[in-house]
Chain A
Amino acid sequence: MENMQVQPMTSRERVLAGLRRQPVDRTPVCNPTSVATVELMDLVDAHFPQANRDPEMMARLAATGYTELGFDSIMPVFSIIQESSALGCAMQWEQKDNWPTVRMREPIWRDVEDIKIPDDFLTHPDTACVLEAIKLLKKEFGDEVAIIGKTMGPWTLGYHCFGVEPFLLMSLDDPGKTKLALERMKDATIKFGVAQIEAGADALTLPDHATGDLVSGEYYDRYLKDMHAEFVDLIPCPLILHICGRTVDRMNSIAETGMAAFHFDSKNKPQESMDIVRQRISLIGNINNPETLYAKEPDAVHAEVCANLDAGVHMVGPECAIPLQTSIQNLLAIPRAVREWHAAQ
């Protein structure tokens, strides 16, 4: 919703306005997920895996999204494993050029009765790291740029802590037990989310990987829609829901949750997505990662940015955490394309 009469905004103002679907001076370039790359790691000497575990490294690397790439947001929670590590999951930390993962073949929970959010959940090194990184970023950048935190939703925590197959089977065999499990796990989502707001986060990404390949739109309505709406009441900041994959079958439901934004995948066309949500929720996205950002050249990135802007997508950015080998010039192409598109209007 670009309004030529809007005074020049700071990046933070722009993103917050975008989340409220209020007028902006230009479309925000926003990353609800990681834009870290191996080259940026080298630039600021903050490498994986340590940059996921050391707050100063985390903050330093995350800041490059704003200081070097020109995005309007900084999102320091690169991975999706911080909470699961704090819950006690076994981790595979990997190396500089790969993502840390949860060893889901070594589940920590087998039944609902096993679910426990430990007392030290927020002081565990991997959650505390995020909180400290957010504080550092807020101290450095103040109100200049939007700081976006991240708290994993209960479906994702279920995958990590029970294992994907056992959790999915439970959802098929015992809906009651599954709902109870989600109820118990959501405490982790809320606790971690609130703590990040207190640390200084302006908004939170809430990834909940009920992806279209395994989880139908009907399942979303049955298990998650009401809970996501509840998060809006219980976590006092704009929430950006993130679900990978093709999600047009649930976008209408997502739009009804009251969440501020939906970070959508390139498997959903910008216009079809905008037609479904009908200004009830902001859309952020949806530049393709594995084909466009990773493997093509800046012109291809430019074209996808324009497709989003032409459809009126509220904020533009990569569809998900970018591949760590993504070229910096492809990332620079995103804000450049946004500026050029607006200049041409």
Chain B
Amino acid sequence: MTHLVDIGLRIELVSMYPYFHDISISLYERQVEEGDFEFQVHSYAGLEGVDKTLDYVISAMVVLGGMIRVGGPEEKTVRFCCGSRHRKACRRIFLEACKITLGTDLNPIGPSILDKKTERNIIVESLGNGGYRVSADGEDDGRDRRISAIAGGFVKLAEMDYMDGSDDAVAFDCNSDHTPLVGLLLKRALNVRAVIREEDDLAGRGMLAAPSAQK
């Protein structure tokens, strides 16, 4: 009898969750009858305590990413309020949720941050209907460039679209607000290259290289 689950398409994997016995935790995506998308967190590890661990990850996705829990506690399933896929954003929420020390108090992150690189305060303001504008204080010199880079970060991290020819305003294609998600992503949007580097490094792990190809 197989012990494998058939709960959707696996869209992300944390190979070694550092806060609970290095278990692997996966994120699955599936489309439900109404056309909406749900995401389920799952682990094949059979240790006592795995269930609570997954519950914590789900809670983090809800609080930090603004997602909504679906079904009972055993479901380990969440969705966006808009029901849309937002696959890349959901993967990012999951990965960020898995970075938080197990058991830490969870609080949403507001859409503003001190950008240490430029010593500016960055604020992301909701424009309604899923649109957000990035602004920054401080000197004029270099400000627009920095704002544009951060807006571009949101485009890359969450597949948001630029709004009407602007380079400081971006929007979710579902036209729904996802302000907690924006707050969560803002820190990463400040340095998307680091995020991509991290993803590339992780992708390289677990690939068996021939001896002549070993680094």
Which residues of A pack against B, CB within 8 Å? 34, 38-43, 45, 47, 67-68, 79-80, 95-99, 101-102, 104, 156, 159-160, 164, 168, 209, 211, 213-214, 244-245, 289-290, 294, 297, 320-321, 323-325, 327-329, 332
Residue A97 contacts which of B6, B10, B15, B213 (CB distance < 8 angstroms)? B15
Given contacts A42-B44, A164-B212, A209-B212, contact A96 B22 (CB under 8 A): yes
Q: How far is the CB of A6 from chain B (nearest CB, A)?
A: 26
Interface size class on chain B is 20 to 34
- Bitwise, B169-200 to A at CB < 8 A (1) or not (0) is 00000000000000000000000000000000
Main secondary structure of the interface of A (DSSP, over half): loop
Q: Is A324 within 8 A of B15, CB to CB?
A: yes
Q: Is B16 within 8 A of A38, CB to CB?
A: yes
Q: How far is the CB of A276 from chain B (nearest CB, A)?
A: 22
Residue A244 contacts which of B9, B23, B205, B210 (CB distance < 8 angstroms)? B210
Q: Is A209 within 8 A of B207, CB to CB?
A: no
Q: Is B4 within 8 A of A68, CB to CB?
A: yes
Please measure, in the bound complex, the distance between the C-alpha atom of A102 and the C-alpha atom of B15, giving whole angstroms: 23
Q: List 22 A-B contacts (CB under 8 A).
A: A38-B13, A39-B24, A39-B26, A42-B45, A43-B3, A43-B44, A43-B46, A45-B45, A47-B22, A95-B16, A96-B22, A97-B205, A97-B206, A98-B205, A99-B206, A164-B214, A209-B212, A245-B210, A320-B208, A323-B206, A324-B15, A328-B4
Assess whether B2 is interfacial by the CB under 8 Å rule. yes
6 new A-B contacts, CB < 8 A, other than A99-B206, A211-B212, A328-B4, are A42-B24, A47-B22, A102-B211, A209-B211, A290-B207, A327-B26
Assess whether B43 is interfacial by the CB under 8 Å rule. yes
Chain A residue with Cβ nearest B50: A42
Chain A residue with Cβ nearest B208: A321
Given contacts A42-B44, A68-B3, A324-B15, contact A80 B23 (CB under 8 A): no
Q: Is A324 within 8 A of B10, CB to CB?
A: no
Q: Which residues on the B side are within 8 Å of A79 (C-beta)?
A: 208
